[in-house]
Amino acid sequence: MSIPTEPVGSLPRPAKLQAAIADYDAGKITKEELRVEQDAACKDSIERMEATGAPIVSDGEQRASSFATYPLADTLAGTGLADNLAGDGQYFAIFTDGHHRQLPRLTGGPFKYKTYAADYLIEAMKMAHKPLKQAVIAPSMLSLLYPLDGEIEGYSREEFSEDLVNECEKDIRKCFEAGATRVSIDFTEGRLACKNDPRNPWTGRKMLEQFVELNNRVLDRFSPEERKNIGIHTCPGGDCDSTHSDEVDYADMLPSMFKMNAGYFLIQLASEKDKEYVYKLCGEHSREDANGVPQVCFIGVINPLNPTVETPEQVRDDLVTAAKYIPIERLGSTDDCGFSPFSIDVKPKHGSPDVARDIAFQKIESRVKGTAMASEQLGVA
């Protein structure tokens, strides 16, 4: 069994698609006209990802407003917001370069997704020739839709949590029903929960443990066989080539993260200062038996925020080092994050989203080649 490799999910939206989204927000084009651009971007994303040799691909999340808001709104500007939501929710992240991203605010119940990730996947399946993965958002992120303090009149926090857990379970089940080979849950808020940023009040509330508990409420609804193919993605954020929590010591986060009963983890690591330290933590805290499934650690070997393309040899060497700490049968490779988790992203360090797309495919090719080289060297090819 060679070392498995898998992307996180997103790719930069082509400049043409980003312009179409702006036109749609401005009422200059129809939803159907926007869809033509989304279709073209998805097709290009899938074809080019397949051409890298990657065994599992995605549609690059080209139709999603963002990794976190796809169930709630058609665009990041809030066009087509779901029922019982207002645009002015809390920040979920303030990034190092000073920009921030905001969630909607829940105004009442019941809480329902407007769009499921499978709605995108069904379209992608028609275009793909290789197995597809789909990323979904974690219930812990969407729990931040509910006000931090107090209760919404007529819709208690517990009623909301129950609706949320039901919707997240449905989101995942629909992906598998639509043909997803793997489904990973984006959990960027996990690491941010370990940082106390006074400008962003929820980060100072020590919410990591309750996030883990909430996410396990969803995971525990799946059998061990199903959970083998359900992953969790952790990262310090990746938007406009900037991060929100890379100063947080992984030792504060990973022991809790591995309490989630998922079968695999996609872990940002290529951009860590001391990778070996984190490989060791993964080896120590990932579990051989997480309620019936072994936890496979997919280590990040590609940095989507840096335009310099990693060589296959660098990827190989990272995996060979990681194998000193993580059992080979529980080791995989991935990218540190999606290449553009938000639809509107000019990728400033890359020069443009179109250049960033070209670079992303080169990086994915290096990941695939380097992972095959590591399998060879470690005797599992």
> Which amino acid, residue 251?
A
Q: Which two tokens stand for residue 271?
A: 């951009």
Nearer to Zn ion, 192 or 235 (CB): 235
DSSP state of 310: P
Interface stretch with Zn ion, choices 81-89, 185-193, 199-207, 303-311 (CB under 5 A): 185-193
Question: What CA–CA distance (Å, rounded) separates 366 from 52?
Answer: 8
Nearer to Zn ion, 25 or 246 (CB): 246
Interface stretch with Zn ion, choices 77-85, 181-189, 241-249, 255-263 (CB under 5 A): 181-189
> Which amino acid, residue 240?
C
Interface stretch with Zn ion, choices 46-54, 190-198, 232-240, 312-320 (CB under 5 A): 232-240
235 binds Zn ion per the rule CB under 5 A: yes
Q: Of 3, 121, 132, 337, which lies in the binding site for Zn ion, with binding defined by CB under 5 A?
A: 337
Question: What CA–CA distance (Å, rounded) separates 66 from 161?
Answer: 22
135 binds Zn ion per the rule CB under 5 A: no
Q: For residue 145, which of 182, 104, 186 has the smallest C-alpha distance?
A: 104
68 binds Zn ion per the rule CB under 5 A: no
Q: For residue 12, which of 67, 68, 61 has the smallest C-alpha distance?
A: 61
Instruction: Please report how close the Cβ of residue 10 comes to Zn ion at its closest, in angstroms.
Output: 9
Nearer to Zn ion, 237 or 316 (CB): 237
| Preceding omega of 307 cis (within 30 degrees of 0) | no
Q: Name the β-bridge partners of 133.
A: 182
93 binds Zn ion per the rule CB under 5 A: no
N- to C-terminal Cα distance for the chain?
6
Instruction: Please report how close the Cβ of residue 342 comes to Zn ion at its closest, in angstroms.
Output: 11
Residues touching Zn ion, count (CB under 5 A): 3
Nearer to Zn ion, 20 or 269 (CB): 269
Q: Which two tokens stand for residue 202?
A: 């929820």
Instruction: Please report how close the Cβ of residue 341 comes to Zn ion at its closest, in angstroms.
Output: 6
Please report the DSSP string for 119-171 in residue order: HHHHHHHHH-SS-BEEEEE-HHHHGGGS-SSS-BTTB-HHHHHHHHHHHHHHH
Nearer to Zn ion, 57 or 323 (CB): 57
Instruction: Please report how close the Cβ of residue 67 comes to Zn ion at its closest, in angstroms.
Output: 7
Nearer to Zn ion, 78 or 238 (CB): 238
Residues engaged in binding Zn ion (CB under 5 A): 188, 235, 337
